[in-house]
Amino acid sequence: MLQVYIKEMLELTRDKKTLIFTILLPTLIMPVILGGFFTLSLKIAKKANEEVLDFAIIGSQNYAQVESELLREPEGDEDPLNFNLITLEPGADVDELINTNKIRFALVIPDGASQAMENGETLEIDFKYNDSATTSGLMFKRVNDALEDLKTIELVKRYAKLGLTEEQGEALGKPLKLVQKSTANERESFGEKFGAFLPYILILVGLSGAMYPAIDLGVGEKDRGTLETLLLTPVSRFSLVLAKFLVIFTTSFLAIFLSLLSFAIMTLMFGPYFSSMMGPESSANATSVLQALTNISVVDILLMFSMLVPIAAIFASLLLSVSIYARTFKEAQNYMSPIMFLVFLPLILALLPGVKLDWVWASVPITNVALAIKEIFKGTIDMGMLAVIFLSTTIIAGVLLALCNWWFQREQVLFRN
């Protein structure tokens, strides 16, 4: 059996497709793609924040403070607002100018705006823009944030008229304020928000790492005409199945290990770089995330791997069974789509809000492992439940391996063509 295992592993190392999907994809390509996507997103957001926005004001004379506030010079280390006022010609079609990108937005200040502010009324200023633009939401936020100081000034004036200090005025508008005080630490908070995505990625990587070797070791033997020769060797069929199973299990688990290792390295090496590219608030959040990740111990990582061992075994047994049953390489590939759907569904369940690890969800295959890894990531795993999940998943993998062995014993399955 060992010789068959070594032979199959050597053949796989000569297959470029297998090397790409089991080593290159999880180790380099996926982290590079995700890192590049994250970097590009940050650059696009930064460019949108620094873009000079051409705008127009209709009825500026009704409340000139708005124009003054948007065009004011930055003070100290304050970033420039980057607004450029465009003077409109009489009778200009504002909607057409916005839709043709001649101006990015327009503010319409109604008549009597100054009087309304003096009377303590709410002044409604129309913000006209094209919401089909990709950065339209960010553009509104930039304008709204730029007018925050003006809002504060007007509020202080109103408080003074009532004989109130700024603090008393704020208390007048907010007689009751609910303050959030979470008892969760940074690791638990981060794990609850993003911990479900880690098993989602790792399990799918394990599936892709097992898929192509399984096709090659099953139906690939039929296509190459080497299955008959292999069956004539003085090796029991169970040993042949076990050797092929171990090869697929190795490639699946290797893909998971390399993927997790590469993500860890990228996080440690490039995490501070991504943090420096963000704004002050986002950078602080990114720093807290990095600190939360440093609290994950070696034991936690080993527990995550222990959960993924039976998952890799399930994939190896199931995919090898399908590959043995298929007549041709193309037929085996057709069977992979429903299998991927069956894996996607429980993973999506683990991502749904309100789905937490309990004894009900612990009985759902794949979902239970995804939820368990999330709890390990948070540092709140119940070791008793973890042992039950590991045992139940291992039993499922053993049953599927027995089914694969029974499948391989039947001549009508091996030689369906």
CA atoms within 13 A on the CB side of 38: 16
pLDDT of residue 110: 92
Q: pLDDT tens, 209-237?
A: 888 888 888 888 887 777 777 777 787 88
Per the prediction, the chain carries an average pLDDT of 81
More confident residue, 247 or 412: 247
Least Cα distance to 327 among 415, 410, 228, 244 occurs for 415
Residues 6+ positions from 150 with CB-CB distance below 8 Å: 65, 66, 69
Closest alpha carbon to 208 in 244, 247, 255, 249: 255
* CB contact at 8 A, 360 and 278: no
- Choose the weakest-confidence range: 85-99, 196-210, 365-379: 196-210
Q: What is the CATH number of domain 52-146?
A: 3.40.190
**What residues contact 315, with CB distance under 8 A and at least 6 apart?**
206, 207, 210, 211, 214, 248, 252
Q: What is the CA radius of gyration of the chain?
A: 31
- What is each CA distance from 284 to 212, 219, 296, in whole angstroms? 42, 53, 20
Beta partners for 55? Answer: 85, 105
Alpha helices (H) along 108-185 = 113-118, 136-146, 148-161, 166-173
Reading the block at residue 211, the tokens are: 């898929």
What token pair was written down for 46?
Answer: 């930064």
pLDDT in tens, 146-190: 898 888 888 888 888 888 887 888 787 777 888 878 777 777 777
- Tell which wins on pLDDT, 319 or 183: 319
Sheet of 53-58: strands edge to edge? 83-85, 53-58, 105-108, 126-129
pLDDT tens readout for residues 239-278: 888 888 998 898 888 888 887 777 777 666 665 555 555 5
Q: Determine the straight-line distance between the first and last CA of the chain, rounded to whole angstroms.
A: 27
Please report, for the chain, the start and end positions of each structural domain, with discontinuous segments joined by +.
Answer: 2-44+186-414, 52-146
pLDDT value at residue 399: 92
Buried/exposed 304-322: b ≥16 CB within 10 Å, e otherwise: bbebbbbbbbbbbbbbbbb
Is this model's pTM higher than 0.75 or not?
no
Query: Can you tell me the mean pLDDT for 191-211?
Result: 80
Quote the CA–CA distance of 221 and 328 in Å, as a whole number.
10
How would DSSP label each residue in 1-39?
-HHHHHHHHHHHHT-HHHHIIIIIIIIIIHHHHHHHHHH
Confidence band for 18, pLDDT divided at 50, 70 and 90: low
Percent of all residues in the chain with a pLDDT value above 90, rounded to a whole number: 12
Q: Are 106 and 98 in contact (CB under 8 A)?
A: yes
Task: Look at residue 56 and tell me whether its pLDDT is greater than 90.
Answer: yes
